[in-house]
Amino acid sequence: MTLEDLRKRFKYRKDDTNKWKVMDAEKGPLYGDCEDFAVTALWILSDRSWTKFWWKVTTLQAVVWKTTVNGEGHIMLWVKGKGWIDNIYPYWSPTPRHKKVFPYIVPMLAAVIAAGKV
């Protein structure tokens, strides 16, 4: 799967359980919310490797950010050398399009991903 494939196949679906998951189906629509889009984009950029995924996060080459859109919580991905991306604006931007609140540092990101049983 490529980032372009994610852009085309992603279908927003609100997740009341707030479990974060990597969407990795080979065919059909990819249903998820902003968190799922962000971690899936990072998974793709990491060549679908957990080692590369966590290396990018640990070395701050990629950061998942809590942001706000119209006062509501939202998640964006920042990647060094690429910029910002999310499910609302699925193309790279040099600046965040939403107000940054806080970054998910490694232990926080690991906890929310583990809770989703990626």
Read off the pTM.
0.93
Tell me how crowded residue 38 is: count the other CB atoms within 10 A of its CB.
25
pLDDT in tens, 13-70: 988 777 899 998 888 999 999 999 999 999 999 999 999 999 999 999 999 999 999 8
pLDDT in tens, 97-108: 999 999 998 888
Local structure of residue 14 (DSSP, 8 states):
-
Q: Which of 109, 111, 117 is nearest to 57 (CA)?
A: 109
